[in-house]
Amino acid sequence: MALIAAACTNKEKPENMTNPLLLEFNTPFEVPSFDLISLSDYAPAIREAIAVHANEINEIVNNRKSPDFINTVVAYERSGSLLSRVNSVFDNLNSSLTSDEMQKIAEELSPLLTSHQDEIRMNEKLFERIKAVYSTRESLNLSKEDSMLLENTYIYFVRGGADLSPEKKEKLKKINEELSLLTLKYGQNVLSEINAYKMVVDNKADLAGLPEAVVAEAGEAAKEAGLSDKWVFTVQKPSLIPFLTYLDKRELREKLFKAYINLANNGNEADNKAVIGKIVNLRVEKANLLGYPSHAAFVLERNMAKTPEKVMGFLDELWTKSLPVAKSEATNLQQLIKKEGQSFKLEAWDWWYYSEKLRKAKYDIDEEEMRPYFSLEKVRDGAFDVATKLWGITFVERKDIPVYHEDVQAFEVKDTDGSHLGVLYMDFYPRSSKRSGAWMSEFRAQEVLNGKNIRPIVTTNFNFSKPSGDKPALLSYDEVETLFHEFGHALQGLLSQCSYTSLSGTSVRRDFVELCSQVMENWASEPEVLKSFAKHHQSGEVIPDGLLQKMDDSKYFNQGFVTVEYLSAALLDMNYHMLSNVTDIDVTAFENEALTKAGLIPEIVVRYRSTYFSHIFSGGYSSGYYAYIWAEVLDSDAFEAFSETGDIFNKERALSFRKNILEKGGTADPMELYVSFRGKEPGIEPLLRKRGLL
């Protein structure tokens, strides 16, 4: 294997000559050599890559030629490729295959990476060169994509503190370093709490109401924990949701529910309340330092929404329409409790259980009645088939592509003409080394380099229940939608046709990125699509028309709850990040005040309480959790572009969506891209229709 160019600049580290992270990956499509990488490789590789990147920046700064678009802006864009390459492997595996040792490495490296990035963003000479090019942008005759790169680069430096005084730059560096450690700590605390909690049930009679498959999975979990003749339940969603939905024993539902909503809120070493207070205040300080009234104002300036006021207006409009529906649903559930001869008040841990009972009574449909038709592999193939029908792309499983865990599957993705589009990893099952939730990321982003189209390496992660006994992994319908959702993100990465990594794939505005994921969920619910993959795992029977009709009849059921539960989290996010001054935050009191002010009813708990709201405190969605429903306005309208033709696989619309959105990344203004596809800006009515809120 050859050493990657420029990686051997540090002569004092001969061990790097054999570090697999610094060598070319001698693998199919140059995917990471997972089998050769050890934990001890990460820190030296990242330190070396930082040094290489620093040298690349010095070359740009010390270039004696006058700054121009190529020798400054493009040179900066291309710099740091080794660091991005190494760091992408570390970051992805730290999310999906972490360990105590790996988390310690992350804590060691996080300040170094943050400091390195700050040194670049606050490099006066580098910024002067970029500023010089930006000031002549009108006369440069740049393409639209090049213009976007120039604008984004200039704004990135300004927002990174390049225009600040030396004293303020130093203050910003300290804030950034502390934030990097705090957000890392927050995520580690959540994972620690999730892994630590296990509810052990030793009396099978207490499991009355649970589907047989759920009981079997809990039994398998107990065996893995070394407990015989017992059943183990966790706060992971595949265990939690069926437990809350079907278990008859109310006090056990309450116990598991409270364990979930108190994650990282238990007064122990993993308690996140103090961490949240520090994060929120540091974000306020940073925003003020950069001239913004709040963190939300700072973030949203670069989103489609532009201002906190516009986001709040949008959320309030939806809240006003959905809260009365949720209240009506609560009344119906309370009446059902009374009808059963019970006198207790409906509580949050009762909602799933009684709403499922009511749904079954009204529509004669049971979530577990659907599950046998949704075996994981068939759902996966169904998603692949939708992409094939829309764009002619195909997915070929490759056993010769290295994977980082035995559960991971690897696929080569090919275009209509058989040419290579990219590699797709799919990691389906939960484990203690993997964070919760579902997400898409990349080991390599798409770009065009020296005339060669470098194709992406995309990864999707899920936390679906594993196969149990002789049964394959069976999904709930919500999990079917989750698979289609993350697959949609993957498609935007895989189909990208951009010149620069900072603009390619999912490198788009935060409230635009969910369009490509959420629009795929629309196909998942179409009878034509469902019949292609929803086949009974034992008999092979296609899902019956009668069951499809029941699904359609009940599609608006519980939408008040679903919408309010989500919106309350979006409002909580905005309340934290619209703060304009540093303040002593009592997290519990702040959360309660924000949700009470909004009018959240006590029977519904916010989707993510503050202490485990990872999207905003350790992910990239601070001031941006609203993006999911903002994008739902777009995806509802976008899918109507297909359905209104009478053909959900309309080739003309599919090609337009690919060419104008999937391939374009962040190369143009999001609304401009959307209008290029749709011919008009979206309205909110399709969303309200889809949720039954009109």
Kindly list the catalytic residues.
Answer: 486
Q: 129 in the Ramachandran plot: left (φ > 0), alpha (ψ -120 to 50) or beta?
A: alpha
Q: Kindly give the pairing relationship between strand 439-444 and strand 457-461.
A: antiparallel
User: Whose CA is closest to 525, among 494, 562, 556?
Assistant: 556
What's the one-letter identity of residue 28?
Answer: P
Interhelix angle 376-391/477-494, rounded to 10 degrees, is: 40
User: Whose CA is closest to 154, among 166, 168, 142?
Assistant: 142
Residue 214, classified by CB atoms within 10 Å of its CB into exposed (0-12), middle (13-18) or buried (19+), is buried
CA distances from 350 to 218, 250, 330 (A): 21, 8, 10
Q: 692 in the Ramachandran plot: left (φ > 0), alpha (ψ -120 to 50) or beta?
A: left
* Residues 6 or more apart in contact with residue 484 via CB below 8 angstroms: 383, 386, 520, 521, 523, 524
User: Whose CA is closest to 77, among 153, 161, 160?
Assistant: 153
Q: 389 in the Ramachandran plot: left (φ > 0), alpha (ψ -120 to 50) or beta?
A: alpha
What's the one-letter identity of residue 303?
Answer: N
CA atoms in the 13 A half-sphere facing the CB of 108 = 13
Q: Are 428 and 462 in contact (CB under 8 A)?
A: yes
User: Whose CA is closest to 85, among 422, 398, 501?
Assistant: 501
Bridge partners of 447, per DSSP, are 454
Tell me how far apart the 2 most distant CA atoms of the chain are, in Å: 85
